[in-house]
Chains A and B, each alone.
Chain A
């Protein structure tokens, strides 16, 4: 059995956590960035790539603008924005949108197609997704595996991070996608099923796994202890804990 890593030397960078006030709150959640940091401190999580709850449950029209100023004084928290189709005029055309991202220090985006009622495909997002691909901007995608497969078929080189893939084991859907698309990444927040992290690393190596807690949907400590005790080597744990996300963000060209 591999010796567990010394977690005190690991840098945890949570790719999937949020603050803000949803209409149906968790029993405990973070209303503000400061409360999110307190939760991260409690668990020993160093940094977070963050979305505000309004970005998912409300409208990005309102919350994209508010996220970056909210986090300006929190160096441990990095903002993200959400996308909408530009055809309705709710979001700027792709080039302008990316320019706005740069001005606000945003390096990653979220897509919530079920919450915001659109199709995440080439017909709806062709120009934007081509631009994201060209600029290596990671798109965090909360989408079931069948729709995810359709997205990747249209944009095989897109840097996409599949999130919340569980809690059931979805390997029969996901492995064909990960076998086919090398820029498809996976967050660990819903890898509850024992052995999934280990087999992912064995099959693909650790570079496409990103530590995510899904706080406050889930308890931060769950994904944290799961990764810490995974039967993979320390180097793989460090990559998943934070280095992979750091690398993805450094590769962004805007």
Chain B
């Protein structure tokens, strides 16, 4: 049967898998293997194919290895991905505050990259608080250069809660702060942060799926177990109503979550096509236009 949803973009995505009128900029992707799960489209060609067939024109990525393993080796992997696919990928430099040597070289290492647009912070994974002093050099630099900073965020976290994003947003008003996973579970606070701080954004990765960690034999796979949240339907409408469509950006964790699964939540949300375009690409495009990608030294 035909959907009663009148959206022409939804119609395009259902019939063609993408829309010429609505490209996608994926602000949250990864690269390379992940230790805790088999990811079928992890190989480079498969990931690029999956992104492109959903109409993804740009994917901002950081390697799993940089976050969960050897940060220097992993950041080099991200560089390889960007070099190999310069039209598709832009890089995030992963900051691991547990390594003081890497932190001392942070700025010079970042400036030596090509095609990077900001930093990826994983406070939960490194069990170090977002508003702690070791992150300050990265955030100060990001603020000075108007970079994009993608932060893993989760409701109730001791390391990267939406409240901690607000504390950082207060100090660094020029950096674009993307709340990865939108502070999952504590969506109300995250939406308030995005509403109150012009440079704070709600990033949608895995927001379109409930998380019941009792269903995962290894739980949340983070050093400290994350809180479950059992229902998410209607979350996109809530974000648009209370923070506006201008404060929401598209993300998938690819090679994890299918761009079509993510797009389905947006295309069938009770919002209009202009809001869908804001979320899918316009907001991210605006952020990318503020940043000059690195070009090495």
Contacts and interface: CB of A to CB of B under 8 A. Distances in A.
Interface stretch (A60-68, A209-217, A246-254): A209-217
- Say what secondary structure dominates the interface of chain A: loop
Q: How large is the interface on B (under 10, 10 to 19, 20 to 34, 35 or more residues)?
A: 35 or more
A195 to B, nearest CB: 3
A22 B229 CA distance: 13
Interface string A3-16: 01011100010000
Contact of B215 (A8, A24, A25, A142): A142
Interface in A198-221: 198-199, 214-221
Contact of B257 (A6, A24, A193, A221): A193
Contacts of A223: 261, 264
Interface in A113-167: 114, 142-146, 164-167
A167 B262 CA distance: 12
A146 B259 CA distance: 29
B261 A26 contact: no
B216 A164 contact: no
Interface stretch (B117-125, B144-152, B265-273): B265-273
Contact of A28 (B10, B36, B40, B233): B233
A194 B232 contact: no
B268 A42 contact: yes
B80 to A, nearest CB: 21
Given A194-B259, A217-B232, A228 B14 contact: yes
Interface string B234-272: 111110000000000000001111111111110111100
A218 B209 contact: yes
Given A28-B234, A219-B268, A169 B258 contact: no
B1 A44 contact: yes
Contacts, number: 188
Contacts of A143: 215
Contact of A218 (B14, B41, B233): B233
B278 to A, nearest CB: 18
Interface residues of A, number: 58
Nearest to B266: A221
B40 A218 contact: no
A4 B17 contact: yes
Interface in B217-243: 217, 221, 230-238
B208 A194 contact: no
Q: Which 7 A-B pairs have the closest CB atoms?
A: A221-B268, A195-B40, A28-B234, A27-B234, A225-B264, A26-B231, A44-B3
Given A8-B2, A42-B268, 10 more contacts: A29-B234, A169-B39, A194-B255, A195-B46, A218-B210, A219-B208, A219-B269, A221-B10, A222-B261, A222-B262
13 contacts: A44-B3, A145-B217, A171-B37, A172-B37, A190-B215, A194-B39, A195-B41, A219-B264, A219-B268, A221-B10, A222-B265, A229-B54, A229-B260
